[in-house]
Chain A
Amino acid sequence: MTAHPTPACRHPKVIMLHDNEDDILGAASIIAEQVEEYRTIPVENDIGELVKKYRPSVIIFALSSVQKSIELYTQIITDKNIDYPHHSILLCKNRESGVAFRCCIKGLFDNYFVYQPLYEKFRLKMIIHMGLQISQSNEQYVGFQDEQLESIEEELAQMIDEGKECKRSLLDSIADCKKSLKNANEEAEKASISAVLIQKINETHIEPLLAELEINIKTGLDKMINQLLINQVGVKELEARVEEMNKVSVPDQQSILEALSNTASALSNPPKDAQKILVVEDNQLYRDMLVNILVKEEYNVDESADGLNALKKIKNTQYDLVLMDLFMPNLDGINATKQIKSITGGKKLPVIALTGNKNKDLIKTWAEQGLKGYILKPSSKKEILEAVGKILN
């Protein structure tokens, strides 16, 4: 900054564009007092190139009319000769101050100043100062020193300085608050992000792990319980066996001799084990009675509780006779008798019906399947043995 105008500065930070040098003399000298790196440039054909070359921070448009200044500024922008942050100031005549004000309000220029007539020198200096302050960094523009300012009473100057400090303090406090608020927001944002991350980790990792752990524990417990149950059953079985063994008393000598005698008798008179009878009856009580009767007559007796089980036995064992009930679960007597033919491969296995049913049609249907006789329940022992003997003998 210098007290003298330097209109031919090589790298001006402030330039004033004009189309009539006489019009700007007053304003130019004021600015030249304030800014060392300043230049006035008449508008010619290469004005855009010059602006581009100098890259000034503050551009003052001081053409003879506001309209010309607007046209020039727009052209420079359109030609991309200004493509950086800058501060634009419109100088106008007093009669065009309304248009200039409108241009600033609309945002085309950053400020305006009435330079014809020029009444407020310090107002122009203030506008230039503000422009440089806004468009340049603190290192680039240091502003005014006290000695550059007009002398005033010391008391008043002190008051101004105190007021300045007071305001600075306020601004610093506001800045601190803003900073704290920003930090708080950042912390909150971080906390929020952390919370989201924790939740996501929980959902994707922790919760599945916990679920898996729960399943594993449950499975392990189930296995342990099953094992305990198996062990318990095993212990009970063992206890039952021990109890059974305890019941078995050692036979005395007389019993052994009798048993040996019976065995010898059996060997000399072999039982009718060549004649094997299958008793098929679902009522266990009556089945036991029949088995008891037949065993006493030394028949070799086997038993089944239903038709299906009987067929399985007939398939695996060769019987000489079957006593068959009619109504049984799984497979009734009629259908079981029908199946016997195919199981024995054509070999005839005699079947005697055990029935309490007097339905002649039913008996006839059954008889057609190859019955050899029937025993009406409950027949006597004599009648049963006669029916059996008739077939087997």
Chain B
Amino acid sequence: MKNGTRMTEKNLEILNKNIMLDLIGDDPVMIKQFEIDFLKQAKESLQKLILMYNQGSFSGVKEEAHFLKTSAAAVGAEQTSYLLKALELSGEEEDKPKCKRLIVNIKTSLQQVRGAIIDDSASNSGLSPSQGDNAS
């Protein structure tokens, strides 16, 4: 990916700030705004993923994972983007246990992204730590 390095789970960053710098330029206010927008978008998208999973809609899981993957990659949430791509494939394969495991991992990954983006005290994204626990 960046600098031609092959993307593996181990060398992926929670939030690669260089991605946004390359994409938006050196505009901290604009970057911060996109990061906050991503957290809001991720919250809604995660809720949809859980809903689709509980309804047994693998195509819904696949489409929603693909959707969120685009913005995750754009803001530099590399681990999240990687997990979303894996979820997209698991949805296509209709692998329910794997989908469940990945959704839980995505939730954790997003919490880490939030931690990297803003301080907990300043957070108004609404993404709570319990988000995603409804996946059963």
Contacts and interface: CB of A to CB of B under 8 A. Distances in A.
Interface of A: 281-286, 288-289, 292-293, 296, 325, 327, 356, 377-382, 384
A381 B71 contact: no
Given A292-B30, A327-B63, A378-B19, A286 B24 contact: no
Contact of B23 (A284, A325, A378): A378
Contacts of B38: 285
Contacts of A296: 25
B23 A381 contact: yes
A289 B22 contact: no
Given A286-B70, A293-B24, 16 more contacts: A283-B71, A285-B34, A285-B37, A285-B38, A285-B41, A285-B71, A289-B34, A292-B24, A292-B30, A296-B25, A327-B66, A356-B70, A378-B73, A378-B74, A381-B23, A384-B23
B100 interface: no
Contacts of B67: 282-283
Interface string B26-52: 000010001001100100000000000
Main secondary structure of the interface of B (DSSP, over half): helix
The winner among B23, B24, B69 for most chain A CB atoms within 10 A is B23
Contacts of A378: 19, 23, 70, 73-74
A380 B1 CA distance: 11
A283 B25 contact: no
A378 B38 CA distance: 14
B87 to A, nearest CB: 14
B66 A377 contact: no
A377 B25 contact: no
Contacts, number: 51
Contacts of B41: 284-285
Contacts of A384: 23
B23 to A, nearest CB: 5
Nearest to A380: B22
B22 A286 contact: no
Contacts of A284: 41
A358 to B, nearest CB: 10
Q: Which 8 pairs show the lowest CB-CB distances between chains A and B?
A: A380-B22, A285-B71, A378-B74, A283-B70, A378-B73, A286-B74, A286-B70, A283-B71
Contacts of B74: 285-286, 289, 377-378
20 contacts: A281-B70, A283-B67, A283-B70, A285-B37, A285-B38, A285-B74, A286-B71, A288-B34, A292-B30, A293-B23, A325-B70, A327-B63, A327-B66, A377-B73, A379-B23, A381-B22, A381-B23, A381-B24, A382-B22, A384-B23
Nearest to B23: A381
B25 A381 contact: yes
Contacts of A382: 22
Contacts of B24: 289, 292-293, 381
